[in-house]
Amino acid sequence: GQQVMQIPQYQHVQEGEDFTTYCNSSTTLSNIQWYKQRPGGHPVFLIQLVKSGEVKKQKRLTFQFGEAKKNSSLHITATQTTDVGTYFCAGPLDSSYKLIFGSGTRLLVRP
The reply to whether 21 sits near other proteins by the rule CB under 8 A is no
The reply to whether 38 sits near other proteins by the rule CB under 8 A is no
Interface positions, 80-109, toward other proteins (CB under 8 A): 88, 92, 95-99, 101, 103-104
18-21 contacts at long range (C-beta below 8 A, 24 or more positions apart): 18/75, 18/76, 18/77, 18/78, 18/79, 19/75, 19/76, 19/79, 19/83, 19/107, 20/73, 20/74, 20/75, 20/76, 21/73, 21/74, 21/87, 21/89, 21/105, 21/107
CB of 84 to other proteins, least distance (A): 17
CB of 109 to other proteins, least distance (A): 20
CB of 102 to other proteins, least distance (A): 8
- Interface residues with other proteins (CB under 8 A) are 30-31, 33, 41-45, 48, 50, 88, 92, 95-99, 101, 103-104
